[in-house]
Amino acid sequence: MLALDLPGSQFSYRQSRRANCNNPASAQTAQTHIGASATFGCYYAGTRLEYGATEVLDTKVPKTYVGQSVRR
């Protein structure tokens, strides 16, 4: 979620796209691999990211979690 119309001198947001920033992306543009590079070519002054989410695909649970045993 983005907050809009904020002071451009205090807030800005960059998106991982090369160009065509005024239109929806036609494909995934996120940096999805460790060590991969991405171009953050879209700059939006006066915009702030309000919420972010990370999808965890590796569901391995350590044998101990926060000092407690985990049932398997």
Closest CA to 14 of 50, 39, 34: 39
Q: What does the alpha-carbon distance between residue 22 and residue 8 come to, in Å, rounded to a whole number?
A: 18
Closest CA to 15 of 36, 39, 40, 37: 40
| pLDDT exceeds cutoff 70 at 15 | yes
Condensed to tens digits (0 to 9), the pLDDT of residues 16-36 reads 888 888 888 888 777 778 888
Half-sphere exposure of residue 53, counting CA atoms within 13 Å on the CB side? 3
Q: pTM for this structure?
A: 0.54
